């Protein structure tokens, strides 16, 4: 669920992320920390300025991007207490005469920096045509990220740390690493660490809505952004005009089922990658068994870490290589086309370099969760998606179930990354796993792919059952997020957002 677009930069570290499916949990009441009436009734309008003013970050060369801030309570349970500033951005609609309204966008995460992405030109990559013409595209950097008091607590997973514990001793070591990160975070940032959960961000989003002077919002959220959108719909159903939740996260799944389902789909996607390599000469491993190459590289790195010259680390172990899959295997074709890249071509080249030249520098430079200093990802995950381990036996059982579901890739899935990073987080989860029951909202469109290794289809089906009046658009394609991988899905979602009418056909095949 990490990912962000840096348009105009050298590479694409993509958007949204990965949460999954619902489990058998009793319906929970909506979060009630603060009543809707306590939101600012007359929020101060945003003081918009060109993003280039006072900003070191690049701005879109195409569209005029405006930046500003919205002041919100640090703790929404104490609205009169300490405040923080949240960075917001807006790209005005091109066709002002036919403007529909504001389209709120969240790119996933946890921790996706929507305002910063707009500043880099994402509106013109993501929302071409009618959406770009008829909506003001707006977003925020969620509290604790980017321009909204970014957290800096160290990497998601420390290089060299135990990721997949094989004994009670290693399990305790994994917990110690988690606690150390959390304590470091608390020492640096204090109460902000306790108040970056999704409910708080949803309330920030409504404060932004009020500051824009919009009675109702249109929303497009992908991956983790679907959880933010569903949470907003649960809290403020009357504030929605149209809402798309694409690549859905079901907050009722629970950590064990999350891992089991995601691991199985990740293995399926890896097998599709292997089959592609066998057929396509664009694969650097064409003519070889790509799966056997992967196995060989991981086994070698388990014995002796593979050098990564010219990178931030000397060498990478097998766990590091396993942990690149949840990010580097994902297809997001909309961005790939825009950047002129192919995720599978790049993954094959990195594996080939590690196998043939004993060089893992591409694996490091291509991203992943080990050594990546994406602190908001961890902090939000720990507050919203806690691992809920009961001990080593529980952790070992989950790893065993993942290996059964995915004999080759095992627990190399984002679900386990989140659990390992949060194994002994020193802050109690403020918004733990539970259903997101939505009543009283207009019809919401949920979209999912038949083969999404980050947010598998079963979770989308269960989420639709929690949102009254919603419908599920299923796209027969692999990759993460329908909008990113299917022209048909983009057309259906666009038409719905403009008309607020659910599509008559709820299947897509490009």
Q: What would the pLDDT profile of 445-479 be if each residue is shown by its tens digit?
A: 999 999 999 999 999 999 999 999 999 999 999 99
Q: Is 319 exposed, middle or buried (0-12, 13-18, 19+ CB in 10 A)?
A: buried
Rounded to whole angstroms, the Cα distance separating 327 from 417 reads: 11
Q: What are phi and psi of 116, to 5 degrees?
A: -65, -40
Rounded to whole angstroms, the Cα distance separating 112 from 446 reads: 20
**pLDDT at residue number 371:** 81
Nearest alpha-carbon partner for 113 in 240, 13, 244, 258: 13
Torsion of CA 147, 153, 155, 159, to 10 degrees: 160
HEC-encoded secondary structure of 41-69: CCCCCCCCEECCCCCCCCCCCCCCCEEEE
Residue 473 C-beta-side C-alpha neighbours within 13 Å: 29
Q: What is the largest CA-CA distance in the chain?
A: 65
**pLDDT at residue number 368:** 83
Beta strand 101-106 with 135-140 is parallel
**pLDDT at residue number 25:** 32
Q: Which residues of the chain have pLDDT under 70?
A: 1-42, 53-63
Domains annotated on the chain, with CATH? 36-149+196-252+436-508 (3.40.50.1820), 168-190+254-421 (no CATH)
**pLDDT at residue number 58:** 55
Rounded to whole angstroms, the Cα distance separating 209 from 43 reads: 9
Q: What is the DSSP letter of 94?
A: S
Share of the chain above pLDDT 90, in %: 85
Rounded to whole angstroms, the Cα distance separating 251 from 216 reads: 24
DSSP-assigned states of every residue in 192-231: GGGS-SHHHHHHHHHHHHHHHT-SSEEEEEETHHHHHHHH
């Amino acid at each position: 669920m990490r990912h962000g677009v840096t348009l105009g930069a050298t590479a694409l570290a993509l958007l949204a992320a990965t949460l999954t499916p619902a489990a058998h949990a009793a319906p929970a009441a909506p979060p009630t920390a603060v009543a809707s009436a306590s939101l600012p009734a007359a929020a101060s309008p945003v003081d918009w300025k060109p993003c280039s003013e006072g900003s070191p970050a690049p701005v879109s060369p195409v569209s005029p991007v405006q930046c500003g801030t919205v002041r919100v309570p640090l703790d929404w349970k104490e609205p009169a207490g300490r405040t923080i500033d949240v960075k917001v951005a807006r790209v005005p609609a091109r066709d002002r005469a036919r403007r529909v309204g504001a389209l709120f966008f969240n790119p996933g995460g946890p921790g996706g920096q929507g305002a910063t992405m707009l500043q880099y030109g994402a509106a013109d990559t993501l929302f071409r045509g009618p959406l770009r013409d008829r909506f003001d595209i707006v977003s925020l950097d969620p509290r604790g990220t980017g321009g909204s008091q970014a957290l800096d607590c160290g990497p998601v997973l420390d290089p060299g740390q135990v990721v997949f514990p094989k004994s009670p001793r290693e399990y305790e070591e994994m917990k110690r690493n988690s606690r150390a990160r959390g304590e470091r975070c608390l020492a640096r940032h204090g109460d902000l660490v306790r108040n970056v959960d999704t409910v708080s961000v949803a309330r920030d989003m409504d404060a932004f809505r009020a500051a824009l002077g919009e009675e109702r919002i249109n929303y497009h959220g992908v991956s983790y952004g679907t959880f933010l959108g569903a949470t907003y719909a649960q809290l403020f159903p009357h504030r929605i005009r149209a809402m798309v939740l694409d690549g859905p996260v079901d907050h009722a799944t629970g950590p064990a089922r999350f891992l089991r389902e995601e691991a199985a789909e990740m293995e399926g996607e890896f097998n599709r990658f292997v089959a592609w390599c066998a057929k396509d000469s664009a694969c650097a491993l064409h003519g070889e068994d790509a799966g056997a190459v992967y196995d060989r590289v991981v086994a070698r790195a388990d014995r002796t870490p593979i050098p990564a010259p010219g990178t931030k680390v000397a060498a990478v172990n097998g766990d590091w290589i396993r942990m690149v899959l949840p990010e580097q295997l994902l297809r997001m074709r909309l961005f790939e086309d825009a950047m002129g890249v192919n995720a599978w071509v790049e993954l094959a080249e990195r594996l080939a370099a590690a196998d043939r030249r004993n060089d893992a520098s591409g694996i490091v430079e291509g991203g992943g969760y080990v050594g990546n200093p994406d602190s908001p990802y961890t902090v939000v995950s720990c507050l919203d998606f806690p691992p809920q381990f009961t001990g080593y036996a529980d952790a070992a059982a989950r790893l065993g179930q993942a290996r059964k579901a995915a004999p080759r890739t095992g627990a190399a899935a984002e679900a386990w990354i989140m659990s390992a990073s949060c194994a002994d987080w020193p802050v109690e989860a403020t918004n733990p796993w539970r259903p997101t029951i939505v009543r009283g909202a207009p019809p919401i469109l949920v979209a999912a792919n038949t083969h999404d290794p980050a947010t598998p289809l079963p979770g989308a089906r269960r989420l639709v059952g929690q949102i009254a009046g919603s419908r599920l658009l299923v796209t027969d394609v692999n990759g993460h997020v329908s909008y990113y991988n299917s022209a048909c899905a983009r057309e259906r979602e666009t038409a719905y957002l403009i008309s607020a009418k659910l599509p008559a056909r709820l299947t897509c095949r490009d």
